[in-house]
Amino acid sequence: MATDVILADTSVLLDVVQNDLRWSAWSQAALEIAARQGEIAINDIIYSELSTRYANIEDFNVAIESLALRHVPMPRAALFLAGKAFLIYRTQGGTKTGVLSDFFIGAHAAVEGWPLLTRDARRVQTYFPAVKLIAPD
């Protein structure tokens, strides 16, 4: 049975576009398997994070197209859920900054019921346990 949509996290996409020595082979293979199972999507946060690697929007859009990624805007329910999860993180003593994007991505997968292809599974598992993860062992 094919999955309709799989959300691809920034870490996996960066591995491929930057040809990361440690992770590019795993990430490329995981993207290929995911593409056979369904459509690979990115959201606004992933789009923004990935765009930092490109000098202009034209080159970036070519890269998005070559990776066959579909940009899906985040629904308000996911934005709200991300804020609530981040609040729990902070009230439980979470002090690391720059993590809000992880909550946006995890919440989007949770609200849509999509699997998340990621290398950063720990936080998603903790705050969005219903999300099916595609991650390295």
pLDDT, tens only, 20-58: 999 999 999 999 999 999 999 999 999 999 999 999 999
Report pLDDT for 3: 61
When pLDDT is cut at 50, 70 and 90, the band that residue 94 belongs to is confident
Q: Does this model's pTM top 0.85?
A: yes
Listed range (2-11, 50-59, 100-109) with the worst mean pLDDT? 2-11
3-class SS of residue 113: coil
Distance from C-alpha of 14 to C-alpha of 94, rounded to nearest angstrom: 26
60-73 burial, b at 16+ Cβ within 10 Å, e below that, comes to beebbeebebeebe
- What residues contact 19, with CB distance under 8 A and at least 6 apart? none
Q: Which 8-state DSSP code applies to residue 53?
A: T
Report pLDDT for 96: 75
In terms of Cα–Cα distance, which of 17, 4, 27, 122 is closest to 66? 17
Distance from C-alpha of 53 to C-alpha of 4, rounded to nearest angstrom: 28
Distance from C-alpha of 108 to C-alpha of 81, rounded to nearest angstrom: 8
Is it the case that residue 72 has pLDDT exceeding 90? Answer: yes
Report pLDDT for 120: 87
Q: State the CATH architecture for 5-134.
A: 3-Layer(aba) Sandwich (3.40)
When pLDDT is cut at 50, 70 and 90, the band that residue 60 belongs to is very high
